[in-house]
Amino acid sequence: MATIQAGESYGFFTDTSVCIGCKACEVACKEWNQLQGDSPSFLADSFDNTGTLDAQNWRHVKFIEHVPDQSATTGNGTAWLMMSDVCKHCKQASCMEVCPTGAIIRTEFNTVFIQQDVCNGCRNCIAACPYGVIGMNSQTGTAHKCTLCYDRLQGGLEPACAKACPTQSIQFGPLAELQKAADVRLAALHSQGVKQAQLYGRDDKVYGGLNAFFLLMDKPETYGLPNADNAGLPSRNDAGGYLAALVTGVLAVVAGLVAFRRRVTG
């Protein structure tokens, strides 16, 4: 890969069709970022014992079993879904919008980063993130999430998870290149008849576009991701609220005027 340069947009293309659920990404992330991980517990949920992204888990492989009852079946990434989830580094980042201290910034690599020395631990971002990515670190009292290995990028290295991924399910690179690669891969799958394959966050329909976008083998809801209809910034909801308030106000004035006129004429 070419040199990593400030000023360029970087991200992940996570191709779930070739994920083998090995969790090397989870471990490589923890090793590089010195995350201890949560205390072990058996979740009885397929092979997932991580459960969720949080302050200690910045990559999380989801396992979704759709294996049919037949004794022979096609795998091809459709029957046992595996997806290495991560912070999406949204173009329209909800966390950034609600952060009162300006701790959450967009870096020179166009990634979303929480500055630990500015974060005051208010948890607004945790509530705002539509993907449940962010968690509180009980030791530092601040919010933590994937940094897209900001320190590695600054040193010219690709993020630890992408480096460790054995099947290139996690690809790192300049966003434009990743988008091109994703289009090629999607076309290949569609030509093989895998019609349900779809890109998520490749275009601007989901939070203005995701720097960490995905190739999914089922609809986003299957993976617990909001679909395009539901993926907008909190401020989008505000517009409706403001409009409703305005309408209510106007109606109130009109109603008042009507009431007064009746009294006068009555």
Partner 1 sequence: MTNHWRDIKNSDLILINGANPAEAHPVGFQWFMRAKLDRGAKMIHADPRFTRTSAVADMYLRIRTGSDVAYFGGLINHVLQNSLFHDEYVRNYTNASFIVKEGFSFKDGLFSGYDATKRTYDIASWSYETDSTGFAMRDKTLQNPRSVFQLMKTHYSRYTPDMVSSITGIPVADFMKVADLVGQMGKPDKVMTIVYAVGLTHHTTGGQLIRSGAVLQLLLGNMGRPGGGMNAERGHANIQGNTDHAISWEILPGYLKIPAPGQKTIADYVAGSAPKKSDKNSWNFFGTNYSKFMVSTLKAWFGDAAKKENEFAFSFVPKPAGNASWMTIYDQALKGKMEGLILSGMTAASIGPDSNQVRQALGNLKWLVVMDALPTTSSEFWHAPGVDASQVKTEVFMVPTTHWIEKDGSFVNSGRWSQWKDQVLPPQGQARHDHWILADIFQRVKKLYQSQGGKFPDPILNLTVDYKDPLKPELDEIAKEINGKDLTTGKQMTSFALLRDDGTTTTGDWIYTGSYLDSGNLMKRRQGVQDTKTNDPTGMGFYPNWSWSWPLNRRVMYNRASADLDGKAWDPTRPGITWNGSKWVGDVPDYPPTMNPHDPAAWLPFIMNGEGVGRLFSNSMLDGPFPEHYEPVESPVANPLHPGNSASPVVFLYDKAAGRPDRFGTATDFPYIATSYRLTEHEHYVTQHVPHLVQLQPKPFVEIPYELASEKGIKSGDQVRVSSKRGKVEVLALVTKRLGAMTVAGQKVYQIGIPIHWGYVGLSADSDSSRGRYWLANALTPFVGDANARTPEFKAFLVNLEKM
Should residue 144 be labelled a site residue for partner 1 when binding is judged by CB under 8 A? Answer: no
Q: Which of 4, 10, 18, 124 binds partner 1 (CB under 8 A)?
A: 18
Should residue 223 be labelled a site residue for partner 1 when binding is judged by CB under 8 A? Answer: no
Q: Give the count of beta carbons closer than 10 Å to the beta carbon of residue 206.
A: 26
Q: Which of 67, 176, 187, 239 binds partner 1 (CB under 8 A)?
A: 67
- Kindly indicate which of the ranges 61-69, 129-137, 174-182, 220-228 contains the residues binding partner 1, using the contact rule CB under 8 A: 61-69
Q: Which of 14, 33, 50, 111 binds partner 1 (CB under 8 A)?
A: 50
Q: How many residues bind partner 1 (CB under 8 A)?
A: 42
Should residue 38 be labelled a site residue for partner 1 when binding is judged by CB under 8 A? Answer: yes
- Residue found by looking up tokens 């595996």 in the block: 82
Q: Give the count of beta carbons closer than 10 Å to the beta carbon of residue 255.
A: 10
Q: How far apart are CA 164 and CA 26, in angstroms?
A: 9
- Kindly indicate which of the ranges 6-14, 26-34, 90-98, 174-182 contains the residues binding partner 1, using the contact rule CB under 8 A: 26-34
Q: Are 82 and 20 in contact (CB under 8 A)?
A: yes
In the complex with partner 1, which residue's Cβ is closer, 66 or 236? 66
Should residue 122 be labelled a site residue for partner 1 when binding is judged by CB under 8 A? Answer: no
Should residue 168 be labelled a site residue for partner 1 when binding is judged by CB under 8 A? Answer: yes
Q: Which of 8, 9, 52, 76 binds partner 1 (CB under 8 A)?
A: 76
Should residue 181 be labelled a site residue for partner 1 when binding is judged by CB under 8 A? Answer: no
DSSP state of 158: -
Should residue 115 be labelled a site residue for partner 1 when binding is judged by CB under 8 A? Answer: no
Contacts of 128 (CB under 8 A, 6+ apart): 94, 95, 97, 98, 234
Structure-token pair, residue 12 = 């992940």
Should residue 77 be labelled a site residue for partner 1 when binding is judged by CB under 8 A? Answer: yes
Give CA separation, 86 vs 59, 83, 89, in Å: 5, 9, 9
Burial code of 63-73, b = ≥16 C-beta within 10 A, e = fewer? bbeeeeeeeee
- Kindly indicate which of the ranges 17-25, 119-127, 131-139, 171-179 contains the residues binding partner 1, using the contact rule CB under 8 A: 17-25
Q: Which of 1, 45, 140, 249 binds partner 1 (CB under 8 A)?
A: 45
Burial code of 34-46, b = ≥16 C-beta within 10 A, e = fewer? ebeeeeeeeeeee
Residue 187 beta carbon to partner 1: minimum distance, rounded to whole angstroms: 13
Q: How far apart are CA 196 and CA 177, in angstroms?
A: 23
Residues of the shown chain interacting with partner 1 in the complex, contacts defined by CB under 8 A: 17-18, 20-24, 26-27, 30-31, 36-42, 44-47, 49-50, 65, 67-69, 71-77, 79-80, 82, 166-168, 188
